[in-house]
Amino acid sequence: MKKIIVLLITLGIFFSNIDFSEAKKTTTEETRAIFVSYMELNKYVKNENQEISKKNINKIISNIKKMNFNTIILQVRSASDAIYKSKLFPTSAYIASKEGEDYYDVLDYFLRQSHKNNIKLFAWINPYRIRTTEDVESITDKNPAYKYLETDTVYINNGIYYNPSKEEVQALIVKGVKEVLNYKVDAILFDDYFYPADEIDEKDYQDYLSEHEYIDSKSYRLNQVNKMIEKVHLECKKKKIPFGVSPDGNIDNNYNKNYADVKLWMKSNKYIDFIMPQVYYGFYNSSRAYIDVIEEWESLLINKKIDLYIALAFYKVGTEDKYAKDGMYEWLNNNDIIMREIILSRNLKNYKGFALFRYDNIFDVSNYTSNSLKEIENMKKILK
């Protein structure tokens, strides 16, 4: 039956005379989330006039609620920083005039206003990234990375990152999560950025081999990330707050580039409570078609207590998908892809909901095209 539904949706037969309310899940059953990233924070929240900043936050929440979404995934730490009152990390330059300067507690305000509107808030953390550029000068002495700049605990190449194999780095990440858990967040979410490069931990790997039995470098790196994930999950469990990861939608990339052991996480009780793969593919992607990818993720979810969310690429609407081969122009030639992907996702056994990346791609009117507007209208049909 499932295959028949998939075929009908893919061929477009589904859309002629169907009442989409018959296919929908209610908002109480289905998480409908929007990613609000550091880019939105920098654009809407960063403002010398804090009242304007707060009005903009209210507008973000209002827009999300009006479209029948019920969850915000807010990036509370993107670059070894914080949008909340932290004893470990400096105030983010994405909200303050510069890193470390005083600003109001953005996370607290977002939380209070979200919950007032029956919107859940997931705290989204990038655990290892310090900077998206190699601008070392922007790192203040208030940043925990500062004292490591001349050591191999920090890696500089196409960005600045913490070394995942260092015990002090893992301890810092866990302490940072514990701070966020002091807020009434509805979940903690890590994104897909784990190992930035293979050479980051070569010395640590060799030191490990000198004292332990041989394992290959890939297994070593998977283990380092696993240790960190397990520690974070334990802290979240103490507070009864769900913890999850939003990994690369490509399983191979998780193992060969990011060193995220998603297969282990999805069959164990020790690592995560939910998984949110970034399935940023269309139906005609020659390398990884959407249907095949979500079925692959479902097949790997051995522990049925773990919830499955699907992250979708609204940012691709109306664009050319350069790596999709035969599906390169799919997002240009169609305006119902997100709607169809949501409907398909609802057939997954452990499906809990979906998330769209990201807010501005949906709500910034300057980004609107006839294609994106139609995509939004089609999506609304199944969000009633």
pLDDT greater at residue 109 or residue 2: 109
* Residue 286 CA neighbour count, 13 Å, CB half: 9
Q: Is the pLDDT of residue 17 over 80?
A: no
Q: Is the pLDDT of residue 84 over 90?
A: yes
Q: Is the pLDDT of residue 23 over 80?
A: no
pLDDT tens-digit series, residues 292-314 = 999 999 999 999 999 999 999 99
* Cα distances (Å, whole numbers) of residue 229 to 11, 91, 173, 258, 292: 41, 24, 10, 14, 27
pLDDT at residue 341, rounded to an integer = 98
pLDDT tier, 10 (very low <50, low <70, confident <90, very high otherwise): very low
- The mean predicted confidence, pLDDT, of the chain is 93
pLDDT tens-digit series, residues 198-209 = 999 999 999 999
pLDDT tens-digit series, residues 323-341 = 999 999 999 999 999 999 9
pLDDT tier, 11 (very low <50, low <70, confident <90, very high otherwise): very low
Structural contact between residues 303 and 315, judged by C-beta atoms closer than 8 angstroms: no
pLDDT tens-digit series, residues 240-271 = 999 999 999 999 999 999 999 999 999 999 99
- CA nearest 2: which of 281, 250, 295? 295
The CATH number of domain 29-128+163-380, selected from 1.10.150.170, 1.10.10.60, 3.50.70.10, 3.20.20.80: 3.20.20.80
pLDDT at residue 29, rounded to an integer = 82
Distance, in Å, from the CA atom of 178 to the CA atom of 268, rounded to the nearest integer, reads 22
pLDDT tier, 25 (very low <50, low <70, confident <90, very high otherwise): very low
